[in-house]
Structure 1
């Protein structure tokens, strides 16, 4: 006789399904069939499939945010902490392109993603301030930097932007973070000020 999955196992499987396929192409009946459960069990979690999906995404993004904070806490150097914080969750959010598109198409979903991005940049402000105090980062206004990142986040997640550039969301954020952390200008090597080199510059 089959045993009923624990609530934890059930939510894990439901999260995997919705974060992989999104929700627009599924009915509540199809979700129940794929999950091998009754519709009632799904309605016990949320009143609609959209609310179910948004709730799952909220939990995934919250875990993603904590992963970033945990990575930062693991670094003693403030500059490294900023880099670790920004890169920790790239390509690890667990949300597919379809899921991200569905999240952006739902008003409450956009609000969840906006709140997630806001929480990320507010956390970033404190890390930037620490880096500036340690003399490891240029003394710019932390709110200015965080707001610039927040504004870019709204644009970089646009499906039209990703289509136009042929980039994946994680790659777009990764490259943007590289620009924020290292800038656009090539810098000279300490032992030869006439030679400008950087990770993005072609070899001379």
Structure 2
């Protein structure tokens, strides 16, 4: 009969190693890759071609990511993280929910205007990069919900169906991100976000009293 008091030996738990921060050269290289991908997309490049365009060795690129596909995801993530940071800076200090939504969606539109059709098409066609865009879009929809709720609390937005409008805004953002809106209307994602801003601010506005 086994000794139930004897506990199996276990290796001591180790704390996960801290993530290595990118060097200044790697940050600069990511920024250069971002500009290249924004202008020309990323699907058509090989690592050899990217190394040539960046004037660096392939080992330098491998230090950023172990494959071209993972490098593309890293650069796409870098682009959208930059967007999130700039948007929060843009609305910092603004108290009026109408101005917050206007500035936030205008910022998204301006940021996406940096991206070529090739870049957006490559994101749509590459599932890991598309997932990064989807994550960013869900986060943006969540921020807009908080802005609408603030506007209702402050009395600058009508409270009739405000939560429903917030959910509809989230669905519209998803439609923009997945390309459904663009394919049906022929507009860019940037233009679609501008139209969404007009729609939200017009639909939620408190009617002026005579």
Could you say what the CA RMSD is over the residues aligned between the two structures, in angstroms? 2.6
Q: TM-score, normalized by length of structure 2? A: 0.77
1:154-169 to structure 2, matched below 5 A, reads 154-159=174-179, 161-169=181-189
Q: TM-score, normalized by length of structure 1? A: 0.79
Residue 136 of structure 2 is aligned to residue 88 of structure 1: no
Larger relative contact order (CA 8 Å, sep ≥ 6): 2
1:132-151 to structure 2, matched below 5 A, reads 132-140=152-160, 143-151=163-171
Q: 2:171 and 2:42 mapped to 1: Cα distance?
A: 27
Mean alpha-carbon deviation: is it higher for 34-43 or for 10-19?
10-19
Q: Report SS of the residue matched to 2:164.
A: helix
Structure 1: runs of 5 or more not aligned = 192-204
Match of 2:45 among 23, 26, 31: 26
1:124-152 Cα shifts (integer Å, max 9, x gaps): 22221111111001114555333322221
1:202 aligned residue: none
Q: Is the 2:138–2:174 Cα contact (8 Å) retained in structure 1? A: no
Mean alpha-carbon deviation: is it higher for 74-83 or for 32-41?
74-83
Residue 12 of structure 2 is aligned to residue 8 of structure 1: no
Q: Residue 90 of structure 1: CA displacement?
A: 1.0
**Greater share of strand:** 1
Q: Is the 2:100–2:147 Cα contact (8 Å) retained in structure 1? A: yes
Which protein is bigger by CA-based radius of gyration? 2
Q: 2:97 and 2:148 mapped to 1: Cα distance?
A: 8
Mean alpha-carbon deviation: is it higher for 134-143 or for 33-42?
134-143
Q: Report SS of the residue matched to 1:137.
A: coil
Q: Is the 1:128–1:142 Cα contact (8 Å) retained in structure 2? A: yes
**Greater share of helix:** 2
Match of 1:110 among 118, 130, 138: 130
1:161-181 Cα shifts (integer Å, max 9, x gaps): 535533222112211221121
Q: Report SS of the residue matched to 1:44.
A: helix
Structure 2: runs of 5 or more not aligned = 1-23
Q: Residue 189 of structure 1: CA displacement?
A: 7.8
Residue 110 of structure 2 is aligned to residue 119 of structure 1: no
2:121 aligned residue: 101
Aligned residue pairs total: 186
Change (3 A) 1:95 1:143: farther
